[in-house]
Amino acid sequence: MAKYLILLTKDDKNTLEMALEFSKILKMSGAEDVKICFILAGIRALNKENEEFNLIISKHLGDMKNLNINIYACEKCMVKFNIPEEKLIYKDKIFSYEEMNRLVDQGYAIITF
């Protein structure tokens, strides 16, 4: 079965919406596992202080939880953009680059938005 790691690299509302929708479609169409990682400037979309992004994430969060799509926040990006863990609207896991290597070794395909 297919496994996907989606990397959200931009802090753009349309890109965020597309990435969240795409992750749900992959899972509903039979993917074994889908994870979405907020990385580089994309980490800003998880910042509680950004209301526009919070509305988009909140709209999809219930579906993503029901579909077991994990939301990862990049640890190094959180530091770079000064977003402490308590300011994240939601995350299943704090993500490291070592984790990315492990997932690739396990056969995850990487899709970048």
Q: Write the Ramachandran bin of 107: left for phi over 0, alpha for psi from -120 to 50, otherwise beta.
A: left
Q: Which of 47, 46, 51 is nearest to 19 (CA)?
A: 46
What does the pLDDT average to over 68-87? 97
pLDDT in tens, 6-29: 999 999 999 999 999 999 999 999
What does the pLDDT average to over 48-73? 96
Which CATH number does the domain housing residue 57 bear? 3.40.1260.10
Look up the domain containing 17 and give its range: 3-112
Bridge-based pairing of strands 93-95 and 33-38 is unpaired
Q: Number of folded domains in the chain?
A: 1
Instruction: Provide the total of helices (H) and of strands (E) in the chain, helices listed first.
Output: 4, 5
What's the whole-number average pLDDT of the chain?
A: 96
pTM of the model: 0.92
pLDDT exceeds 90 at position 1: no
